Chains A and B, each alone.
Chain A
Amino acid sequence: MIKPILVGAVIYDPKVSIIWDIIKSFFAAEGCPIDCVFYTNYELQVAALVERHIDVAWNSPLAWVDAHVRTDGRCRAIAMRDTDRDRITHIVVRGDGGVGAVADLRGRTLATGAIDSPQATLLPVEHLRRAGLVAGRDYGLRRHDLMVGKHGDHVGGEREALRALEGGQADAAAMLDLNWDTWCADGTIDPGRLRILTSTPPFDHCNFTVLESFAADRAAEWAAVLFRMQYDNPAHREMMDLEGLKAWLPGRVSGYTALTAAVRQSRYFERAVS
């Protein structure tokens, strides 16, 4: 009997387990059995990867950086969704809020997601730092620490940041481009009242991470099976829609530069340990 490849994933919604059941069935049918281990937060999952309790970790971008740091770079990103590539974060303001340019944020308040959300906190704060505005010194930060440990997977932090902007408790709010698009489309955001002030450069999001010590041929086989999932195959589409992708792509790490810098600048992991 082939030993299944253990894949770790962080979940907070029990319905997400259905997606992984579908993925597990798919891999079994392709002759490359997997088993799934669920974690309540990314710190536990990265530790499990480093300690070889799991073979593959479905990592958030911050979890990727964490794994990279903990292994001194001895890990690889072997696959990701098409939608994980080239995301951007918008900093959004009220049209009548008096913030016409980034410099106008000086002395004002930016609402963000959770402390560990790359897209809704770490990256926009870094983006403003590079523009000469430092959080706490040049502008106030109103963070919404919902579901800390999930690295911003739960959209609640961004939603609360949006509410703070709309309610006047903040002058700007950070949100992922996909959420801006969704909320404009479903009416949550009135694009006549809010506008995008500035956006971060593109960055990458989640990836499947393995240690360098994980057998290269097994990793290659696993990725090859994953890439056989096709959006135009009705049998695969349900899962791919649930996971929010149209194609699985090879992993790359070029999109984590800004986050790595943000983590280094904020000494994020040192603060997390102490």
Chain B
Amino acid sequence: MADIDHPFPVRIQRTSPGVARAYARTQSFDIGSQASVRETDDAPSAVEYVLGALGGDLVTGLERAAEREGVSLHGIEIALNGRLDNILTHLGVVGEQGHPGLAAIEGTAYVGSDAEEDAVRQAWQRTLERSPLYHTLTHCATVAIALKVIR
């Protein structure tokens, strides 16, 4: 393991009932709940941030990987779906088994490109290899993201 240790400090504060705000460098964002089953809320839930963060990691990572390999992309979109092992344990239902953590993340990455499909897939593979969140989450959940190249 390398001796380099680069910390990523983030400060999180309760700003109003049911809302936390995270401060990361010069940015901030609000978190409205741990995991919500409501149709609407004032802010994304922590679970949604994790999924959004994974998707954002891969979108920006793929853009950089493609650029490095000279692969031209005209669009990237990732649709993800996360499932908790047992959401009822998150709700504190007495007698339920399992845990409230993410058990599976599945989705599809839609990549618009006129490049050879193999080249796009290679760039995608590089992205996964270098993704902090993909590596983190595959340790605790099944992560299956299909790649679809669209001309």
Contacts and interface: CB of A to CB of B under 8 A. Distances in A.
Interface string A1-39: 000000000011011011000000000000000000111
Contacts of B38: 18
A83 interface: no
A41 interface: yes
Interface in A247-271: none
A40 B91 contact: no
Interface string A135-149: 000000000000000
Contacts of A14: 37, 87-88, 91
B93 A18 contact: no
Interface magnitude class on chain A: 10 to 19
A194 interface: no
Contact of B88 (A11, A18, A44, A48): A11
A199 to B, nearest CB: 34
A37 B38 CA distance: 19
Interface residues of B, number: 10
Contact of A15 (B37, B94, B96): B37
B91 A37 contact: no
Contacts of A15: 37
Given A11-B88, A12-B88, A14-B88, A40 B37 contact: no
A1 B94 CA distance: 26
B7 interface: no
B92 interface: yes
Interface of A: 11-12, 14-15, 17-18, 37-41, 44, 48
